[in-house]
Structure 1
Amino acid sequence: MEKAYKLLSIQEKISNKKAKSLIDEGLITCNGKKITIARSELPDNSVFKITTLEKPKIIFEDQNILAINKPPFIESYQLAGMFKNWTLLHRLDKETSGVILLTKKDTPFYSEAKTAFKEQKVYKEYLAIVEGIISEECEINKPILTIKTTHAKSKISKDGLNAQTYIKPIRLIGKKTLIQIIIKTGRTHQIRVHLKSIQHPIIGDMLYGNSNAKRLMLHAHKISLLGYNFTSEAPNEFHQL
């Protein structure tokens, strides 16, 4: 047995520091499961696979708005650095893929768009693969409280803010379910917390569940605001389970 980062360092012929960084970024899997702790001990013959970071792709661009197809494992704020003179309208979790919107700050459209988000006039549809079988549509109305320290974490609490999530099963995948999700509100980790609250955490969600997978199986599928409509098709891994 040896520490994961040391075995990875030997396998890939990279420094221990680089190996630790790759594990911390969530990019290393072994036997289909993500390695989350660099110092975890594994058999000496363990074989690792490095997830290749995809590049963000432009879905649409005009003078008002930039729609990007965000790959998993890229922080939302990093996108703003990749596309000069654009600023984020909203955020997606690091491992969530799909459509994300940027605009140019201090413009009339920026103000209108921020107001649309604030007044819940933005249509947001996601796809997720969850643990267990969901056979019927349902609505989850449970307030969410977010605690922010070095990392944000949310929970269901009567002291939280109103949060609405609508879910609809699309198909069963063994003992898992592919679902469509529509959210009216946009609380931190809302979808993840709400799905955990009904005992159907998202596959790959190590923060709110115990399901270890290559990535968090959550994808921002569609978004519409102020006459704009954008779609990002589900990535290959949503078809491979």
Structure 2
Amino acid sequence: MEKAYKLLSLQEKISNKKAKTLIDKGLVSLKGKKIMLGRMELPKDSIFQISQVQKPKVIFEDKNILAVDKPPFIESYELAQMFKDRVLLHRLDKDTSGVILFVKDRSPFHLQAKNAFKNQEVYKEYLALVEGIVSQECEINKPILTIKTTHAKSKISKAGLQAQTYIKPLRIIGKKTLLEVVIKTGRTHQIRVHLKSIFHPIVGDNFYGGMDAKRLMLHAHKISLLGYEFVSQEPMEFQNL
């Protein structure tokens, strides 16, 4: 037995540090299961698969706003470093793909957009593949409390902030359901925690009890605000279900 990062460094002929980074980014899997800890002890003959990070694509840009199609496995702040003349308007989890927006810092539009988010005047629609069969649409209205230490983690709690999530089944795939998810609020890990709370965790969401997959099956499909609407098409992982 040997630590995962050491085995990966030997397999790929890279440094231990680089191997740890790949594992931390969620890019490394073994027999279809994502490796979560670099120090996990594994058999010495383990053969790893490494997912490639796609390049972000610009969906739209004008003087007010920049819409980018974010691939999974990239932190929002990493993406911001690629567009240094703009600032993030909101964030997506590292493993979530889809539309993310940037604006020019402290511009009149920036202030308007921030107020639109604050006043819940932004339409945010996601696609999520969940475990189990969801037969009808419903609203999940449960308060969420987020505890921030090294990593943020959220849970349903009466001490939390109000959170609203609307789900609608689009199609059943085996024993899984592809959902359209619309959120009114934007709490940390809101969709993931709400879906877990109704016993339908997102496929690939190891952090909240979901089954193993090469990625978190959550995609920011559409966002609308202040007369703008942007759409990111379904990733191949969703099209090939």
CA distance in 1, matches of 2:180, 2:164: 14
TM-score (normalised: structure 1):
0.97
**2:134 pairs with 1:122:** no
The structural deviation recorded for 1:22 is 1.1
Q: 1:172 — aligned with what?
A: 172
CA displacement, residues 189-232 of structure 1 (integer Å, 9 cap, x when unaligned): 10001000000010111111142211111000000000000000
Q: In structure 2, what residue type is equivalent to 1:208? A: Y
Structure 1 residue 107 corresponds to structure 2 residue 92: no
After superposition, what is the alpha-carbon deviation per residue over 1:176-199, rounded to whole angstroms, capped at 9, x for unaligned? 111000011111110001000000
- Root-mean-square deviation over aligned CA pairs: 1.1
Map of 1:151 onto structure 2: 151
Cα displacement (A) at 1:166: 0.3
What do residues 96-140 of structure 1 show as CA deviations (whole Å, max 9, x unaligned)? Answer: 000000000111100100000000000000000001110110100
1:197 is the counterpart of 2:202: no
Q: How many residues align?
A: 241
Counterpart in the other structure of 1:223? 223
Deviating more after overlay: 163-172 vs 43-52: 43-52
2:11 equivalent in structure 1: 11
**2: distance between equivalents of 1:78 and 1:33?**
25
Distance 2:15 2:81 in 1: 27
Which secondary structure state, in structure 1, belongs to the residue aligned with residue 120 of structure 2? coil
Instruction: State the percentage of identical aligned residues.
Output: 73
- Equivalent residues of 2:167, 2:180 under 8 A apart: yes
1:163 has 2:173 as partner: no
Aligned-partner residue type, residue 34 of structure 1 = K
2:144 matched to 1:137? no
Counterpart CA distance in 2 for 1:72 and 1:120 is 26
Structure 2 alignment gaps of length 5 or more: none
Following superposition, the deviation at residue 41 of structure 1 comes to 2.2
> Are 1:31 and 2:22 counterparts?
no
Calculate the TM-score normalised by the size of structure 2.
0.97
Contact persistence 2:164–2:185 (CA under 8 A): yes
Q: Quote the residue 1:233 is aligned against.
A: 233
2: CA distance, partners of 1:195 / 1:108: 36
Q: For the residues of structure 1 that align with 2:3 and 2:137, how far apart are their CA atoms? A: 45
Equivalent residue for 2:85?
85
SS at match of 1:113: helix
Aligned residue for 2:114, secondary structure, equals helix
* 1:45 Cα deviation after fit: 2.5
What is the one-letter code of the residue matched to 2:167? I
Deviation beyond 6 Å, 4+ runs, structure 1: none
Structure 2 residue aligned with 1:2 = 2
Deviation at 1:152, TM superposition (A): 1.1
The answer as to whether partners of 2:131 and 2:210 remain within 8 angstroms in 1 is no
d(CA) in 2 for partners of 1:240 and 1:35?
Answer: 23
What is the match of residue 61 of structure 1? Answer: 61
What CA deviation, in whole Å up to 9, does each residue of 1:39-98 have, x standing for no partner? Answer: 222233221111111111000000000000000011111222111210011000000000
Paired AA for residue 128 in structure 1: A
